[in-house]
Amino acid sequence: MPSRRSRVLSVALGLSVLLWAAGAVAQTPVHVTMVSHNETDNARYGLLDTESGYLAMRAAILQIAGLMTQYGAAWSHQSDWRFLEAVRRWDQGAVLNSTNGKNILRYLREDLGFEIDAHSHESEDYNYADVTWLLGDLGIPSTGVVGGFLYSPPDDTTLVDWEKFRAPLSGWRFPGFSWQAEILWGGGTVNHQGQDADVSGCWRPVDRCHFFEHDPAGNLISVGHGTLLPLLIADIASGTAPAGRLYTQSLMIFELDVVNRGQTALDDIEAQLQMVQGYVQSGQAHWTSLRGMADLWLSQYGGTPGHYPAMTSPACATSYVTELISGYLVTAPNGNDLWVEVIQPRAALYPGARFPVVVCVPGGLGAGEGNDWGYASSGIVEIHFNPEGRGALHRSEGVENHNGFVHQDDLRAVIEYADALPNRLAGATGVHTRSYGITMGAGCLGRYPELPVKYLLDIEGPDDSFVTSFEPWALDAVPGNDRHVAARNTFGHWSTYRDPSPANLAWWTEREALRYIGAVRCAYLRVQAQWDHAQPPNAAWPGFDYPPLWYPIKHTVDMINAAEAGGVPWTRVNGPAIGNPVHGTYSRETRPLCYGGTYASHPDEDLALILYLIGLDFGASDAGKEPMPAARATIRLTAAPNPFNPVTTLRYELAEAGTVELAVFDLQGRRVRTVDSGWREAGGHECVWDGRDGRGRPAPSGAYVARVQAARSDGAVKLGLCK
């Protein structure tokens, strides 16, 4: 029995011949291109790590190129980093004799006229910018095409969120290189297990929750992958698909398939080319590159949006359309200009709206440029900046100060800039630090306690020079445990424990968060996981203990105790779900409860903590009590259907506008999925939970609890997921 694929090809060829033979009247054509991918996984593409394997792939590509040339086809060749690194390594010498003395990609582009686009699964520390850099190194200019991206599930903003392409993307392997995408192609779900974007046409997607809606001001063009070509052409011929639109179609082929199956795979490719060629000769199709489709949409169709068939956006938490504002926006007290990036709900779409602001301090000795922590789509203005002397693309003036007083003054200037934004919500500005960034955050807010800051969120920051210099890693007999040497080479200073000289003490006096945290006069929330990101205990040192200089999470205990002793108005270790009390103090014997595993394994927690801090009413608090109003109103939260499989709609109504979080938890209190979050107006709201967790994986059957929380009200409903 013939395979489904062969039956489809037979039907397609038959329909093509019939339409051609009948002398089909002129109709709106479909613009068609062939597309191929080379991936990175070891199981299939490990052959690219050997010269013989690469040469086999190279030969297959040349065979495919011969067929494409024979039929006059358009072809978008898209490869991830693994193939490109192989070209850089082995495409030289006598190998070039078959490609006019050029590497194979230059030959495909310059001699045969095919399109070479970037493709990336963003693995092994290579992202789309790195792939574009590799192409440029091979002599291939950027087409601006994102060749294959994931648009759904729309609430996974780690690697699969296409909105990151709105701003210039900096490389991971080549951080000095930045790339601006222009065209999205290949919208699909993770592992193609959901509603893939099998539509034809062009439009500018609004945002991650409204992918199929058009935004005239958007800077990214989506080129539809298309549906089954013979059916699309038949729909155009019958008038089911409106005439006069731009229709797009791409047909996938697999170069590795030719390596593995040889002539049989080439025959399959040729069958597709013959099908398209029949439509080309009848005027019902044109060969057009992906870049050419986008250009044609702008030049001949006036950018009029349209996709066929009509598609609705997948279920998604309410989300704001965002924009990036960047430049040398802030002048430091010493007169140096600082590069600042503001990611916020797009001002033109939300006139008069006011949003909480969070100033993000870079971790380590890093820069803020190019960072996007994903808060803006939830209705929070997110600000990043380059401290003096930092920045690869937009270096702030001045010299590196290692988070001392100069950098702390930089942060002060950025906070004052944030407080003057026209769309900021008064009294809801926070500072968010990661790792060594607490030195800048605590130093600034301790030296300038009058700054208009509501909270300081500190993610596992070091408290003193002993911790910053990784001395805990060096106090044993193993020569390889020498991170303290690397730290000394970075800072130019040993810790004060190792070097108590006056000069060294003076240098570290500016750079020890423990000295300043007690003088802070805003709320202080310290985050600590069981396995610290840098200090023991962690994966490398799970049982490390060196009393009395060190014990697990001592830096957290020291910081929170110092904050309490100094009179910080509100303190807590970790979020409310962990269970530590407000205004708690600790010791070696009585340590606070921590997040399980590493904090990185709780990807949604930063946003949840920020929303929690924004919603706190500190004026209603007494020492040692949760600073919330004593009386809390109940939000009526409903779910229908319930029980459900696999989708339920959650509805709630707010008596007043405010910051809201709606999340689903299992019966052990573990967060499964944040369904809705951000600033919401008074009135009714609804959102959908599709029965998946925050990574897009189906949640198991069972009972769950949905909870909605606002500043002065909350509500819950029990859910039953039945499969």
Q: How many CB atoms lie within 10 A of CB 427?
A: 11
Four-point Cα dihedral 431, 432, 435, 441, nearest 10: 0
pLDDT at 17: 39
Q: What confidence tens digit (pLDDT) does each residue in 222-263 have? A: 999 998 899 999 999 999 999 989 999 999 999 999 999 999
pLDDT surpasses 60 at 19: no
Q: What is the pLDDT of residue 627?
A: 41
**What burial class does residue 592 get, using C-beta atoms within 10 Å of its C-beta: 0-12 exposed, 13-18 middle, 19+ buried?**
buried
Average pLDDT over residues 586-591: 90
Question: Which residue type occupies 45?
Answer: Y
Rounded Cα gap, residues 270 and 64, in angstroms:
9
Taking alpha carbons only, the member of 499, 517, 391, 497 closest to residue 447 is: 517
| pLDDT at res. 707 | 85
Structure confidence at residue 157 as a pLDDT band (50, 70, 90): very low
Instruction: Give the range among 48-62, 568-582, 644-658, 696-710 with minimum mean pLDDT.
Output: 696-710
User: Above 60 in pLDDT, residue 2?
Assistant: no
74/328 Cα distance (integer angstroms): 43
Q: Which amino acid, 178?
A: S
pLDDT recorded at residue 133: 97
Q: What percent of the chain has pLDDT over 70?
A: 88
Average pLDDT over residues 144-161: 66
Span 547-552, mean pLDDT?
81
Exposed/middle/buried for residue 713 (C-beta within 10 Å: 0-12, 13-18, 19+):
buried
Is residue 623 pLDDT above 60, yes or no? no
Cα–Cα distance, 705 to 719 (Å, whole number) = 6
Token pair recorded at residue 498: 């190792």
Rounded to whole angstroms, the Cα distance separating 218 from 214 reads 8
Cβ within 8 Å of residue 573, ≥6 positions away: 525, 526, 527, 528, 556, 560, 580, 584, 586, 592, 593
pLDDT of 302 > 50? The answer is yes
Cis check for the bond before 542: say yes or no (omega within 30 of 0).
no
What's the pLDDT tens digit per position in 713-722? 778 888 888 8
pLDDT exceeds 90 at position 4: no
DSSP 385-434: E--TT--SSSPPSS---TTSHHHHHHHHHHHHHHHT-TTEEEEEEEEEEE
DSSP 433-465: EETTHHHHHHHHHHH-TTS---EEEEES---SH
Per-residue pLDDT of 439-463, as tens digits, reads 999 999 999 999 999 999 999 999 9
Contacts of 228 (CB under 8 A, 6+ apart): 8, 12
DSSP secondary structure, 601-635, as one string = G-TTHHHHHHHHHHH--GGG--TTS--S-SS-EEP
Phi, psi angles (nearest 5°) of residue 671: -70, 125
Residue 604 has pLDDT above 70, yes or no: yes
Q: Which two tokens stand for residue 54?
A: 């690469």
Res 630 pLDDT > 60: no
Reply yes or no on whether the pLDDT at 5 is more than 90: no
Residue in the block written with tokens 């297990």: 193
* E strand or H helix at 53: helix 51-70
Question: What integer pLDDT is reported at residue 386 of this predicted model?
Answer: 98
138-158 burial by CB neighbour count: b if 16+ within 10 A, else e? bebebbbbbbbbbbbbbbbbe
Identify the band that residue 156 occupies on the pLDDT scale cut at 50, 70 and 90: very low
pLDDT of residue 74: 98
pLDDT number for residue 504: 95
User: Which position has the higher pLDDT, 281 or 5?
Assistant: 281
324-383 pLDDT per residue, tens: 999 999 999 999 999 999 999 888 877 778 889 999 999 999 999 999 998 998 889 999
Q: Is the pLDDT of residue 482 over 80?
A: no
Query: CA dihedral defined by 140, 144, 146, 151, rounded to 10 degrees?
Result: 170
Cβ-contact 623, 601 below 8 angstroms: no
Task: Name residue 341's beta-bridge partners.
Answer: 326, 384
DSSP state of 378: G
Pairwise CA distance, residues 594 & 604, whole Å? 16
Please report the pLDDT score of residue 68 as a whole number. Answer: 98
Compute the C-alpha angle 590/592/596, nearest 5°.
130
Identify residue 722 by its one-letter amino acid code: C
Crossing angle, helix 128-137 and helix 81-90, to 10 degrees? 20
Enter the CATH code of domain 4-308: 3.20.20
Q: Where are the domains of the chain?
A: 4-308, 322-620, 633-721
Q: Among 593, 518, 594, 596, which residue's Cα sits nearest to residue 558?
A: 518
Q: What are 707's two structure tokens?
A: 């909870």
Asked: is 322-620 a CATH 3.40.50.1820 domain? The reply is: yes
Q: Please give the Cα distance from 443 to 409 (Å, whole number).
A: 9
Q: At what angle do helices 229-238 and 4-21 cross, to 10 degrees?
A: 40
pLDDT of residue 655: 86
Alpha carbon distances (Å) from 597 to 176, 286, 528: 33, 55, 10
Q: What is the pLDDT of residue 314?
A: 65
Report whether 518 contacts 567 (CB < 8 A). yes
Residue 421 backbone phi and psi in degrees, to 5: -65, 140
Write down the pLDDT at residue 479. 62
* pLDDT for 476: 61
Tokens found for residue 311: 């598609």
Residue 316 pLDDT class (50, 70, 90 cuts): low
Angle at 549 (CA atoms; ends 548, 555), nearest 5 degrees:
115
Q: Which amino acid is at 422?
A: P
Q: What is the pLDDT of residue 628?
A: 36
CB-based burial label for 362 (10 Å; 0-12, 13-18, 19+): buried
Q: What are phi and psi of 473, to 5 degrees?
A: -80, -10
Instruction: Select, from the ranges 3-17, 209-223, 495-509, the one with the highest average predicted confidence (pLDDT).
Output: 495-509
Q: Cα–Cα distance between 430 and 689 in angstroms, integer?
A: 30
Number of residues that this document lists for the chain: 723
Percent of the chain residues topping a pLDDT of 90 = 59
CA–chain centroid gap for 342, Å, is 16
Tell me the C-alpha distance between 250 and 229, whole Å: 9
Contact between 679 and 659 under an 8 Å Cβ cutoff? The reply is: yes
CATH of region 633-721: 2.60.40.1930
Cα dist. 427→385, 432, 613, 668 in Å?
21, 16, 11, 34
Q: Is the preceding omega at residue 362 within 30 degrees of 0, hence cis? A: no
